[in-house]
């Protein structure tokens, strides 16, 4: 049985990225119904509730049991918390008796409390079980994955999800260690092994950064979760409602950017081809891109983890 991390009361303070900017864009109607699809430690949810009218409603979901436990601190009749992956938000809304919402908020990636607790295994800066699951109640840990995966499979994960140039060398060392009877079980062991395979890295970046990111994305199926969630957005978002997404690396942002552009612009037409009537005329956009922004210099100075964040906003039309 996997051991859960300490209770939320033992966690370091969490600083919500793009807090006011995200809620400013999301909340167009204080009487509306909103979904915080990634509750985390509730920074965005609390700000939404602060701005909602007594008639407003907020439903939040998260797949991390610690996030669900933290939500119990919010005693508000307008608020409901559900333990679920954000890819299942449409089912959650249906179970809550909601068919359409005025806004959807997704704050993607790993949260600071997850990174800051060594026992979760997300960070190469501490030592804990090599877990990295966002939902500690189910799924395969990184240690379990690395105990059976082959060199080619591991290298593909490191290359595709971490853009790791030394992917093959790292994968070979992981499998060689396992074959020698010493499989990786601790985050510090993985970080040390990667350091022996990566000979150079960008200034200020730990050699294990890309490996930890790639394995985390893989065991949590993060990109598949994003694709599944985005595919359900149009079915629940009211006309005039907002989709607000904060992403933290290029793979996440590329999915969000492509989704918004696909539904906001007519399909590209090769002008060298004979005219095909009706392509542009028949296209009815479902979304309008509203804004994209990054954290201010002041926010980045106060919270270095915000530096890679990208906020994208689209409106249902």
The whole-model pTM stands at: 0.89
Percent of the chain at pLDDT above 90?
81
Q: What is the pLDDT of residues 69-105, one digit of tens each?
A: 999 999 999 999 999 999 999 999 999 999 999 999 9
pLDDT over 90 at 274, yes or no: no
pLDDT over 90 at 135, yes or no: yes
Rounded alpha-carbon distances, angstroms, from residue 78 to 28, 46, 102, 205, 243: 17, 11, 15, 43, 21
What are the chain's domains?
8-112+222-316 (3.40.50.150), 136-219 (1.10.150.170)
For 175, phi then psi, to 5°, come to -70, -40
Average pLDDT, the chain: 91
What pLDDT, on a 0 to 100 scale, did the predictor assign at position 267? 67
| pLDDT range class, residue 114, cuts 50, 70, 90 | confident
Three-class SS of the chain: CCCCCCCHHHCCCCCCCCHHHHHHHHCCCCCCEEEECCCCCCHHHHHHHHHCCCCCEEEEEECCHHHHHHHCCCCCCCEEEEECCHHHHHHHHHHCCCCCEEEEEEECCCCHHHHHCHHHCCCCCCCCECCCCCCCCCCCCHHHHHCCCCHHHHHHHHHHHHCCCCHHHHHHHHHHHHHCCCCCCEHHHHHHHHHHHCCCCCCCCCCCHHHHHHHHHHHCCHHHHHHHHHHHHHHHEEEEEEEEEEECCHHHHHHHHHHHHHHHCCCCCCCCCCCCCCHHHHCCCCEEEEEEECCCHHHHHHCHHHCCCEEEEEEEC
Q: What is the pLDDT of residues 248-272, one digit of tens each?
A: 999 999 999 999 999 998 766 566 6
Q: Return the sign of the alpha-carbon dihedral for residues 180, 186, 189, 193.
A: positive
| pLDDT range class, residue 277, cuts 50, 70, 90 | low
| pLDDT range class, residue 115, cuts 50, 70, 90 | confident
What pLDDT, on a 0 to 100 scale, did the predictor assign at position 152? 98
Higher pLDDT, 231 or 206: 231
pLDDT over 70 at 226, yes or no: yes
What pLDDT, on a 0 to 100 scale, did the predictor assign at position 13? 57
What pLDDT, on a 0 to 100 scale, did the predictor assign at position 10? 47
| Cβ atoms 2, 32 nearer than 8 A | no
Report the pLDDT averaged over residues 229-235.
98
């Amino acid at each position: 049985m996997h051991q859960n991390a300490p209770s939320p009361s033992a966690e370091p303070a969490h600083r919500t990225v793009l807090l006011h900017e995200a809620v400013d864009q999301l909340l167009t109607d204080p009487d509306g119904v909103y979904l915080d699809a990634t509750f985390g430690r509730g920074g965005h949810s609390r700000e939404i509730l602060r701005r909602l009218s007594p008639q407003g409603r907020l439903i939040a979901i998260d797949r991390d049991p610690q996030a669900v436990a933290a939500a119990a601190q919010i005693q508000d009749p307008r608020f409901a918390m559900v333990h679920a992956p954000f890819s299942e938000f449409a089912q959650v809304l249906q179970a809550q008796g909601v068919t359409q919402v005025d806004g959807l908020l997704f704050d993607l990636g790993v949260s600071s409390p997850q990174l800051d607790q060594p026992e979760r295994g997300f960070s190469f800066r501490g030592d804990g079980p090599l877990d990295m699951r966002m939902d500690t109640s189910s799924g395969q840990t990184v240690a379990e994955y690395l105990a059976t995966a082959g060199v080619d499979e591991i290298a593909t994960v490191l290359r595709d999800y971490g853009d790791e140039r030394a992917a093959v060398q790292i994968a070979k060392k992981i499998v060689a260690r396992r074959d020698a009877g010493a499989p990786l079980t601790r985050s510090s062991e993985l970080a040390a092994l990667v350091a022996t395979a990566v000979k150079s890295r960008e200034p200020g970046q730990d050699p294990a950064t890309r490996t930890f990111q790639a394995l985390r994305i893989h065991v949590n199926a993060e990109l598949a979760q994003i694709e599944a969630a985005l595919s359900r957005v149009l079915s629940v978002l009211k006309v005039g409602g907002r989709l607000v997404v904060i992403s933290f690396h290029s793979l996440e942002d590329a999915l969000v950017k492509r989704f918004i552009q696909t539904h906001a612009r007519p399909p590209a037409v090769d002008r060298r081809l004979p005219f095909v009537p009706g392509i542009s005329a028949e296209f009815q956009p479902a979304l309008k891109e509203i804004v994209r922004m990054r954290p201010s210099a002041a926010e980045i100075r106060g919270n270095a983890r915000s530096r890679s964040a990208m906020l994208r906003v689209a409106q249902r039309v």
